[in-house]
Amino acid sequence: MNEDHKTKAAGEDPQDLIPKLFKAEYSNLVAVLCNFYGFKNIQQAEDIVSEAFIQAMKTWSHKGIPDNPKAWLRKVATNKSTDYYRRNKLQNEKIFPNYKSQISGEVQAPVFNESVIQDSQLKTIFAVCHPALSIDSQICLALRILSGFNIDEIATALLSNKESINKKLYRGKKKLKEINPDIDLLDGSDLGDRIDGVLRILYLIFNEGYYRTQAEQAISQDLCWEAMRLALMLTQQKSTNLARVHALIALMCFHASRLNSRIGAEGQLLLLDQQDRSHWDSNLITKGQQYLNQSARGARVSKYHLEAAIAYWHTTDSEDKWNNVLRLYNKLLQLEYSPYTALNRTFAYAKSHSPEKALKEALKLKLDDHHLYHSLIAELYHMIGDKKKQIKHLDQAIGLASNPHEIELLNQKKKDLHR
Amino acid sequence: MKDFMMLFHSVPNMEYQPTPEEIKAEIDLWQDWIGGIAAQGKFKSTNALGYQGKTMHSDGTITDGPYAEMKEIVGGYLICTTETIEEALELSKGCPALAQGGKVEVRDVMIFED
């Protein structure tokens, strides 16, 4: 990476280089500063790093890009941070004679090297995914601090607006300032529980990107890759290299293998059986299998294990596929109920037993006000061959759906029936 | 919402030696039924109980097996969350224990305020 920037840097325009460098380095710099001076100073860390980038922009545009822009940024960030904390310490000691500085003795400078960066990033994952913060704040902070997304990008990625994202970031940082979490990566006992919170956030970020229709496809894919990158980071440290982390990575690999085949020509989301399997990424499927195998060494079966196994069976054409998928959905629902899982389980039930029996199961779900429920019932009637009832439920689904792409998909199904 | 416990009563057949396929099919039957309850968001927990057991008596004697003095044993339980006991009873329909001539006893789980 370093060499890469060195060779490219010389002829490049700072206007082009800085955004790229920002993506790569912003999170590294902030993570190291936060770990060095404490997470309560997360805002200061962000300000210092932003200032370093502004200074780079100014200096490089008239002096040219330095040989090693990364090292330049790290140096400037180091100087700015030591300046800041020295000044801060001095001020406080003068104004409040009894003030005990948080930093005893001389203000030290943080060190930047690959192992410090890796360690800091990992600790930062745990800090921003702290359970004291709201889920929304955790997601926004993760994208901002860990992935270097700017506010506009976060707003686009999460289908939100700048004001709302800023608010969530502000609240999250305020909370971090209050609790000033001390993350000890070597203390596995504490991490054991906390890691579930981290995995949940990474899972949400991934899904946020995965279940997006055509709008802003590029950025939604970025969400998926970022979630995977962060999950892989957890495997780098012994205490966080757990079976359920591998299960989540496996799940992400299987889903990501279909990222490019799940959107149709008109931008609509395609169902698994409508997708062109030859476009599935076989490398990612193989990777998924490897991680799924590794995840089996754990004693506990997490929901990620079950979901990854379901996603695995969907990559196969095995005769026993639907029986296995149903078994896994039965288990998954016992672990955690969700209406989506209940509907998917009923579809698997139809495939494994019969659509008639599945219909009886579906009627017990009491999800009549959900458009996906009626889509499912319509599908079951389709399998049974009752066109009239199929249309009736398609109409009910169309009436309840709010996403224009889903409505389009349902209307298309109805049109196909009249052919 | 209240918690209700279903107790599965059955007459043990010690001679029955199921094949691995039969065991698998049996597990699937139970899992499909339990999955159906979970799909309604009413499942809480479940456990199956084996044949190994000992009973402590008030005089301190210990007897072997839970079935020594009874014709039927409790083969397992499931706790569900429903509004009424009738609803819980409705969920018990389809329990594989019934198909095998067993019974499902539904009891309310008591909660004591501190």
Touching check for A337 and chain B: CB below 8 Å?
Answer: yes
Distance from CA of A214 to the nearest CA of B (A): 31
CB pairs under 8 A between A and B: 44
Q: Which helix (H) or strand (E) holds B8?
A: strand B2-10
Chain B residues with CB under 8 Å of A346 CB are 39
Q: Is the CB of residue A311 less than 8 Å from the CB of residue A254?
A: yes
Q: What is the mean pLDDT of chain B?
A: 91
User: What residues of B are in the A interface, CB distance below 8 Å?
Assistant: 28, 31-32, 34-36, 38-41, 43, 46
Contact B31 A361 (CB under 8 A): no
Please report, for residues A100, A102, A181, A413, the alpha-carbon distance to residue A95 in angstroms, rounded to integers and kept in the order given.
12, 15, 28, 73
Residue A101 has what pLDDT?
54
In a domain, residue B66? The reply is: yes
Residue A3 has what pLDDT?
43
The token duo for A66 is: 């330095």
> Smallest Cα–Cα separation from A48: which of A12, A82, A7, A10?
A82
- Name A269's bridge partners: A263
Instruction: Give the domain extent around B57.
Output: 2-108
Residue B107: exposure state from Cβ atoms within 10 A (0-12, 13-18, ≥19): middle
The token duo for A252 is: 């992400």
Structure confidence by residue, pLDDT tens digits, B95-109: 999 998 999 999 999
Distance from CA of B64 to the nearest CA of A (A): 32
Q: List chain A pLDDT tens, one digit each, 419 residues.
A: 444 444 445 567 777 888 888 888 999 999 999 998 889 999 999 999 999 999 998 998 888 889 899 999 999 999 999 988 888 888 777 777 665 555 566 777 888 888 889 889 999 999 999 999 999 999 999 999 998 888 988 888 887 899 999 999 999 999 999 998 887 776 666 677 789 999 999 999 998 888 775 555 666 788 899 999 999 999 998 888 999 999 999 999 999 998 888 777 766 667 777 788 888 899 999 999 999 999 998 788 999 999 999 999 999 989 999 999 999 999 999 999 999 999 999 999 999 999 999 999 999 999 999 999 999 999 999 999 999 999 999 999 999 988 777 888 889 888 888 76
Per DSSP, A300 falls in state S
B70: pLDDT strictly greater than 70: no
**CA–CA separation, B3 and A124 (whole Å):** 41
Residue B91 has what pLDDT?
97
Residue B67 has what pLDDT?
59
Domain boundaries, chain A: 1-112, 117-241
Residue A1 has what pLDDT?
40
Which has the minimum average pLDDT: A341-350, A406-415, B25-34, B35-44? Answer: A406-415
What is this model's ipTM?
0.91
Nearest to A329 among B35, B41, B43 (CB): B35
Residue A210 has what pLDDT?
86
Which domain CATH number covers B93? 3.30.70.1060
> Is residue B74 classed as helix, strand or coil in its secondary structure?
strand
In a domain, residue B83? The reply is: yes
Contact A345 B35 (CB under 8 A): yes
Contact A365 B35 (CB under 8 A): no
Residues whose CB is less than 8 angstroms from the CB of residue A67 and which lie 6 or more positions away in sequence, other chains included: A6, A9, A10
Residue A195: exposure state from Cβ atoms within 10 A (0-12, 13-18, ≥19): buried
> Smallest Cα–Cα separation from B35: which of A358, A318, A305?
A358
Residue A2 has what pLDDT?
44
Residue A100 has what pLDDT?
58
> Smallest Cα–Cα separation from B8: which of B104, B91, B109, B114?
B104
In a domain, residue B85? The reply is: yes
Residue A4 has what pLDDT?
44
Contact B40 A329 (CB under 8 A): no
Nearest to B38 among A323, A327, A334 (CB): A334
Touching check for A349 and chain B: CB below 8 Å?
Answer: yes
pTM value is 0.86
Mean pLDDT of B61-70: 70
Contact A330 B32 (CB under 8 A): yes
Contact A349 B28 (CB under 8 A): no
